[in-house]
Each structure stands twice: as C-alpha cells, then as structure tokens.
Chains A and B, each alone.
Chain A
Amino acid sequence: MSTHIKTSTLQLSASGLEVVRKDAVKAYPDECCGFLFGTETEGRKITLAVPVTNHKDGDKRRRFEIHPQDYLRAERLAAEIGLDLLGVYHSHPEHPALPSLTDLEMALPYFSYVIVSVKSGKVVDERSWKLNESLGLFEEEFIMQPIHLS
C-alpha cells in the first residue's frame, strides 16, 4: 500500500506545524483536517496551515471529508495571498500516521498529505505522503526540521 522510500522533502514552518498539531488535539477523538499553503521555489515549503471543518456525515473518528465550498475558498485564498495550495493534513486518532486504502483511493497528484497520529489525545507522530501516480502508491516525504519564519 505504501513504500518507505523517501524521494522528496517537505519543509514545514514551526507555526504551520503548531496549527496542525493543535487542530489534531482539539478534534480528538475525531479526525481533523485542513489545507497547507506555501511555496516551491526552493523545494516544497509549507508556511501556512488552515484548519477546516470535518464535514464527514457519519463517523468522524474514522473519516474526514472537506466540503467543496471550503476547497473553493482555499484555492481563492492561495491566489489572494500569493501562495500555492500544496496539500492537505488530517489526523488518525489512535492509529499510526500511515495512509489508509481510503486515503490512497482519494489521493490527488501533486498534493502533500500530512497525517498526524494522535494517541490518548496527544500527538505522537506526523508524516507526509505524496501520490506516485504511475505506481499507484504513496511515497513518503521526508519532513525537515520545522523552519522558523521571522
């Protein structure tokens, strides 16, 4: 289902990572979700994370769904602030930060998928994944040490 070959890197700003971790804890035991924005001029750098509501109609502890209107707003925000929409994050309560078959089925090319593992209400791991379309697999992105933005 997934490989462990890390073929690319992802830089996450400290502030963006904090937003993601806080959202994962706040949503627990449900899954959280949100968008990741940044630049790709010198590698992929996530500088902004924006939480959105988990609109899954059903068991939010095991599933997340982003409303299409929230996606539209994310694309518009990216254009307004001059950043690229680079990915999506979500949490896996009481499960590892590994993509599931559902994650793979729904995966889009290009996006980074950051998954946060939350156990007993605490973040224990975060990993990032990117779809390899030709292989139909996720490849892990190496998350570099958080960058501190001035």
Chain B
Amino acid sequence: MATIIIPTPLRKFTGNQSTFKVNEAGTISEAILSLTNQYTDLKKHVIDDQGKIRSFVRLYLGDEDVSALDQKADTRIKESDVISIVPAIAGGIY
C-alpha cells in the first residue's frame, strides 16, 4: 500500500494520524481523493472548488514535485511510494 504523509498542521483533520495508507492501486489523484473522502474536514485544505489540488498545496512523490512529473497527478503509484502533502509557507510585511 502506498503511503500519504499528512503535514503536521493538517493532522487535526485526520485524528492526529500522520500517515494514510492507500488501499487501492491507482493514481496520485485517486489516492488523495481516497484520503479526503475518509477525512472530509481535510478536503477544503487540499482540494479547491473545481476539484483540483489547491494552489497553496504541493504534492511530492518521494522527493519529486508531482507538478514536474510527465503525468503529474495522473501518475500511477506503486505500493512502496510515499506521497507528501506540502503546504505553502509564505508571508510578508503587508
């Protein structure tokens, strides 16, 4: 089973679980959907109104930025794969 790593600030939406095991084979998108279907409060922090990954969130497959992959979030995942949800961290003085 592939694993999704939940970022610390969003673990309150997964009952403090730091990881999520993906039960079915499929793509990165399907894995994220499986996660957000189980933890519905998490959904708005990861998925936008159009059903796409929010602009403030990056996905990593291992150490690879998913947006840089040929198939992007449609990339099929293996059992050994680890997907990380990475929130944008930014700010400024005004």
A interface residue numbers (CB < 8 A to B): 31, 33, 56, 62-66, 68-69, 71-72, 75, 78-79, 84-86, 88, 90, 92-93, 95, 99-103, 106, 108-111, 113
Contacts of B94 on A, CB cut-off 8 Å?
A: 62, 95, 100-102
Interface centre among B12, B63, B91, B94 (most CB of A within 10 A): B91
> Within the complex, which residue of B8, B12, B86, B91 is in contact with A63, where a contact is CB–CB below 8 Å?
B91
Residue of B whose beta carbon sits closest to that of A102: B92
Known contacts A64-B90, A102-B90: A108-B84 contact under CB 8 Å: no
With a cutoff of 8 Å between Cβ atoms, the chain B residues found around residue A33 in the complex are: 89
Q: In the complex, are the beta carbons of A93 and B93 less than 8 A apart?
A: yes
Residues of A within 8 A of B91 (CB): 63-64, 90, 99-100, 102-103, 106, 113
A–B complex contacts, Cβ < 8 Å, 25 sampled: A31-B93, A33-B89, A56-B92, A63-B93, A64-B91, A65-B90, A66-B89, A71-B86, A72-B63, A72-B84, A75-B7, A75-B8, A79-B18, A86-B8, A88-B89, A92-B93, A93-B93, A99-B91, A102-B92, A106-B56, A108-B89, A109-B9, A110-B9, A110-B10, A110-B12
Q: How far is the CB of A147 from chain B (nearest CB, A)?
A: 22
User: Which residues of B line the A interface, CB within 8 A?
Assistant: 5, 7-12, 18, 56, 58, 60, 63, 65, 84, 86-94
Interface majority SS (helix, strand, loop, mixed), chain A: mixed
Max chain A C-beta neighbours (<10 A), residue from B7, B9, B11, B92: B92
Give the A-B contact count at a CB cut-off of 8 A: 81
Contact B8 A78 (CB under 8 A): yes
Bound CA span A129–B93, Å? 14
Residues of A contacting B5 in the complex (Cβ-Cβ under 8 angstroms): 75
Return B63 CB to nearest CB of chain A, in Å. 7
Please state if B93 and A66 are interface contacts (CB–CB under 8 Å): no
Rounded to whole angstroms, the CA-CA distance of A68 and B60 in the bound complex is 9
> Which residues of chain B are near A90, meaning CB under 8 Å?
91
Residues of A within 8 A of B12 (CB): 109-110
Residues of A near B93 (CB, < 8 A) are 31, 62-63, 92-93, 95, 100
Q: Quick check: B86 and A72 within 8 Å, CB to CB? A: yes
A106 touches B89 (CB 8 A): yes
Q: Are A84 and B92 in contact (CB under 8 A)?
A: no
Which of B8, B86, B89 sits near A110, CB closer than 8 Å? Answer: B8
